Amino acid sequence: MEVTVLGAGSWGTALGRTLGGKGFGVRMWDIDAPLLAAMTAQHENARYLPGIALPPTLRGEPDLTAALDGADLVVLAVPSHAMRRVCAQIAGQLHEGMLLCSVTKGIEIDTLMTMSEVVEDVLPASLHPRLAVLSGPSFAVEVAQEQPTAVTVAARESVVAEAVQRAFHTAYLRPYVTDDVVGVEIGGCAKNVIAIATGAADGLGYDNNTRAATITRGLAEITRLAVARGANPLTLSGLAGVGDLVLTCSSTRSRNYRVGFGLGRRRRLEDIQAELGQVAEGVLNARSVRDLAHRLGVDMPITELVYGLLYEGITIEDIAAFYANRPLRSESEDHHRR
């Protein structure tokens, strides 16, 4: 199999390494041409996965046309804000014999589309059945270290989901399949916002009870949003829902958790982000997830709180007040704002 990975950051490189390790020819493309040249020369992505050897089957290719030529599988691993632009660049070079797999998590800020919806908005309809998404609890570095990991591959067409499942399957990476694309995508994006809330509660000094409550009630509101978008609620009990949520909310490896933790310690967002050196996606996701919830009339109180913390100047003390003042309700209330 010939694979092209678009986006040579942590995740694209970890997955390219997995695919290359199976003997597939892997071409990595990115806007950062020096990064690609260094990857080819040194068999390492020193910027995003330092110290991890890349297989000789993997090389960087700065020319997009050459990168895509003859590909059987195209993996879309660019940041969510770049997905539309990159799809427009590649639209003319794809054909129906190719498999496409988005591994990017996010909801586009202006349109509130999921990543697969953005891809389908740009690419011709004949390619839509060829698209899958891969999501689930998977830190790139741990996949690159070949630690046992399970993910979900979603596609409307089962033959496409299963072909992508087989492509990524190794002794340490186990993909499950589903046809619930929107459920998988909403879970993969909205969890970043809950991770900020969990980090903030931890930063404030709360312990295990509060974290468990935030994760569980976070799952409830993510599920409400996903169901309002047509998802099967059971999808959110799976790897792309509770699996990814638990991962992101319980590890200092998560940039989103670290942003929340810093806010909980009353540090300024700008200072936390400068220290991270990268934008934590949850900061952008808080806006798009909250806007989508408003559009669909879905109650997402934790997301609302995180949005207020990031964008509306509410204080960390309001987090404590939030836990104290929430109205009493049933654990399994309906899916709409009240």
What residue ranges bind ligand NAD (CB under 6 A)? 7-12, 30-32, 48, 77-80, 82, 85-86, 103-106, 138-140, 278, 281
Q: 205 CB contacts (<8 Å, ≥6 apart)?
A: 264
When the beta carbons of 30 and 304 are compared against ligand NAD, the nearer one is 30
Cβ proximity to ligand NAD: between 164 and 319 the closer is 164
Residue 246 CA: distances (Å) to CA of 206, 214, 239, 268, 307: 17, 11, 10, 26, 20
Chain position whose Cβ is nearest to ligand NAD? 9
Assigned token pair, 197: 């809330």
Q: Which is nearer to ligand NAD, 8 or 201 (CB)?
A: 8
Within 10 angstroms of residue 318's Cβ, the number of other Cβ atoms is: 13
To ligand NAD, the closest distance from the beta carbon of 319 in angstroms equals 25
Residues involved in catalysis: 191
Q: Which of 77, 156, 86, 75 is nearest to 123 (CA)?
A: 86
Nearer to ligand NAD by C-beta: 47 or 156? 47
| Min separation Cβ 239 and ligand NAD, Å | 12
List strand residue ranges (DSSP E) for 86-211, in order. Answer: 99-102, 131-135, 149-154, 173-178
Nearest approach, Cβ of residue 34 and ligand NAD (Å): 10
Q: Which is nearer to ligand NAD, 8 or 194 (CB)?
A: 8
Residue 254 to residue 278: CA distance in whole angstroms:
12
Q: Report d(CA 229, CA 338) in Å as an integer.
A: 18
Pairing state between β 131-135 and 99-102: parallel
The distance of closest approach from Cβ of residue 138 to ligand NAD in the complex, given in angstroms and rounded to an integer, is: 5
Minimum separation from the CB atom of position 39 to ligand NAD (A): 10
Angle, helices 208-228 vs 281-296, to 10°: value is 50
